[in-house]
Amino acid sequence: MALAIFDLDNTLIAGDSDHLWGEWLCARGLVDADAFAARNTQFYADYRAGTLDIHAYLAFALAPLRGRSVAEVADWQRRFLADCIEPIMLPAARALIRGHRANGDTLLVITATNEVVTRPIVDALGVEHLIGCGVEVVDGVYTGEAVGVPSYREGKVDRLHSWLEERPGESLAGATFYSDSHNDLPLLKRVDYPVAVDPDPELAARAAASGWQVISLRG
């Protein structure tokens, strides 16, 4: 038994849930569509380029939650999952997860997307553990503030080590990490079995140079 660690966006699903969430909010008039969409698109471009200011992005992405109750946002989460995520779930990703579960591995998704967006998706995929960017709730209401170390780039490594410290029975020995993005190179370099999944060009080049396994879940 070992850790099977998965990135989420463009790895286990055929799209970026964070970007789609922004588009979904715009389409339903929950934000100022024109202004929000432009910034959402620019932040996504920054992410793909590896230049994202994660703190600025979280301040932007979480602002629509400010003052909203957990119950109200739960309704958004259900509708977003049905509208935008279920159509891009990948059968091969589900099979990959099932294979690791059958092997007795511990299943963990680690993502730079916030937990409001990702928790329902990870639950739907049947993965037990999630590390995502934390979101503050006070008295059942979202404050619009992020909490903790963002699980982005080197932050994924930091958050994973903290997670392991709380679970003495788990370790990185024999761990596998699946990702599509060069932003995940800090963690890919730390595991015994890095796997590039439908990788972006920079990760594809690094995987080829390093002899890492490359797979597709979209075939």
pLDDT of the residue at 189: 98
pTM of the full predicted structure? Answer: 0.96
Query: Could you read off the pLDDT of 101-127 as tens digits, one per residue?
Result: 999 999 999 999 999 999 999 999 999
Residue-wise pLDDT tens digits, 190-199: 999 999 999 9
Q: What is the pLDDT of residues 121-153, one digit of tens each?
A: 999 999 999 999 999 999 999 999 999 999 999
Q: What's the confidence (pLDDT) of residue 19?
A: 94
> Cβ(218)–Cβ(14) under 8 Å?
yes
C-alpha to C-alpha distances, 111 to 15, 16, 64, 132, 189, nearest whole angstrom: 13, 11, 20, 5, 16
CATH number of the structural domain spanning residue 71: 3.40.50.1000
Amino acid letter for position 105 = D
Question: For position 1, what pLDDT does the model report?
Answer: 83
For CA atoms 173, 176, 182, 184, give the dihedral sign. negative
Count of structural domains, the chain: 1
pLDDT single digits (tens) 150-165: 999 999 999 999 999 9
| Whole-angstrom distance, CA of residue 23 vs CA of residue 218 | 23
DSSP letters, 44-105, are HHHHHHT---HHHHHHHHHGGGTT-BHHHHHHHHHHHIIIIIGGGB-HHHHHHHHHHHHTTP
| pLDDT attached to residue 22 | 95
Whether the per-residue pLDDT at 85 is higher than 80: the answer is yes
What is the average per-residue pLDDT within 8-37? Answer: 95
Tell whether the torsion through CA atoms of 88, 120, 124 and 2 is positive or negative: positive
The whole domain housing 17 covers 3-215
Enzyme catalytic residues: 7, 9
Q: What is the pLDDT of residues 32-75, one digit of tens each?
A: 998 999 999 999 999 999 999 999 999 999 999 999 999 999 99
Average pLDDT score, the chain: 97
**Residue 191: how many CB atoms within 10 A of its CB?**
19
Phi and psi based region of residue 144 (left: phi greater than 0; alpha: psi -120 to 50; beta: remaining)? left
Residue among 141, 9, 8 nearest 74 (CA)? 141
219: confidence class by pLDDT, cuts 50, 70, 90: confident
The Cα 201–Cα 182 span in angstroms is 8
DSSP state, 171?
A: -
Tell me what the mean pLDDT of segment 172-185 comes to.
Answer: 98
Phi, psi at 205, each rounded to 5° = -65, -45
> What are the CA-CA distances from residue 191 to residues 24, 116, 216 (Å)?
35, 27, 20
